[in-house]
Amino acid sequence: MLKERLIQYALLALAFSAVASLAVITVFIFREGVPILVSEGLWSFLTGRSWAPTRGEFGILPMILGSLWVTFGALLLGVPLGLAVAVFVTDYSPRLLSDILRPAVQLLAGIPSVIYGFIGLKVLVPAIRVSLGSPGLSVLAGALVLGIMILPNVIAISEDAIRAVPRSYRDGALALGATKWQTLWRVVIPAARSGIVASIVLGMGRAIGETMAVIMVVGNSLRLPLSPLDPATTLTSNIGLEMGYASGAHRQALFATGIVLFVFIIVLNSAATAFRRRMARA
């Protein structure tokens, strides 16, 4: 049928448009950023500790470490808490409470990142300053804010993965004498691990790619962060702060920073995909 064939071609075109968009983005950032990597040297760019565009110094090691610190801290908070909420909603929560929690989680996903930044700036930063004696604007503040921001992704996808586990798995484990918690921990969660890993990957991507909230709470220091209480800057926050006035080699260096961030995300996604496939075969 002509109509079905036209629909098929239209869907195929839409699918290829997504691939084409990714290709255009890739070509654009590599075209703008590769020249500075060639002139400065990739190793020097990645391991340099000084970022001073006016002096021609383009080292992004402090930003890489800042991004890794903040992302790791966000996952350390968001993944266990999000998974716990997903388990509670699916297996422990009364129906009425579940009906309240789901829209609340969806609402968290819709809150603009700048609002999270304001809350972190007015609540978390003073609390860290008073209780821990640090400047307040720090890696810890950024990790806490991002840990809250990734909760909707972790909760929603983990909940769907847990609900997708066949009921017979639970019934079989309970029939063999396992408690409800043992059934969840030893049977249900391992069966849902591919979906849980997907939620972690999405949360990681959200954390490492977030800009506005991070700018407001991490302190934007170009020094090497050595502890969670040190101020830092991330790859995204540095791009967001400086792209508006950058030109020449400075602008190329910011695009090269985008290349590094792009490669980071591809590597993380590829590793997570490989892990999911390995777990599926196990």
pLDDT in tens, 62-98: 999 999 899 999 999 999 999 999 988 888 888 888 8
Q: Is the pLDDT of residue 136 over 90?
A: no
Among 35-39, 84-88, 185-189, 266-270, which stretch is predicted with the lowest mean pLDDT?
A: 266-270
If you average pLDDT over residues 228-239, what whole number do you get? 89
pLDDT of 204: 86
Residue 9 CA: distances (Å) to CA of 4, 13, 261: 9, 6, 34
User: For residues 204 and 26, what is the distance between their CA atoms, to the nearest angstrom?
Assistant: 20
pLDDT of 281: 66
DSSP code of 111?
S
- Could you confirm whether domain 61-236 is CATH 1.10.3720.10? yes
Which two structure tokens, joined as six digits, stand for 197?
């890993």
Q: Is the pLDDT of residue 236 over 70?
A: yes
Q: Give 256's contacts (C-beta < 8 A, 6+ positions apart).
A: 33, 34, 36, 37, 45, 58
Handedness of CA 71, 73, 74, 80 (dihedral sign): positive
Q: Is 219 helix (H, G, I), strand (E, B) or coil?
A: strand
DSSP code of 223?
S
Give me the residue spans of the domains in the chain.
Answer: 61-236
CA angle 52, 55, 61 (to 5 degrees): 35
Q: Is the pLDDT of residue 209 over 90?
A: no
Which two structure tokens, joined as six digits, stand for 170?
């639970």
Q: Is the pLDDT of residue 1 over 80?
A: no
- Residue 105: what residue type? V
Residue 28 CA: distances (Å) to CA of 11, 71, 160, 178, 258: 26, 26, 36, 56, 11
pLDDT-based confidence at residue 255 (cuts at 50, 70, 90) = very high
User: For residues 67 and 139, what is the distance between their CA atoms, to the nearest angstrom?
Assistant: 9
Residue 28 backbone phi and psi in degrees, to 5: -65, -50
CA 236 to chain centre: 12
pTM confidence score:
0.86
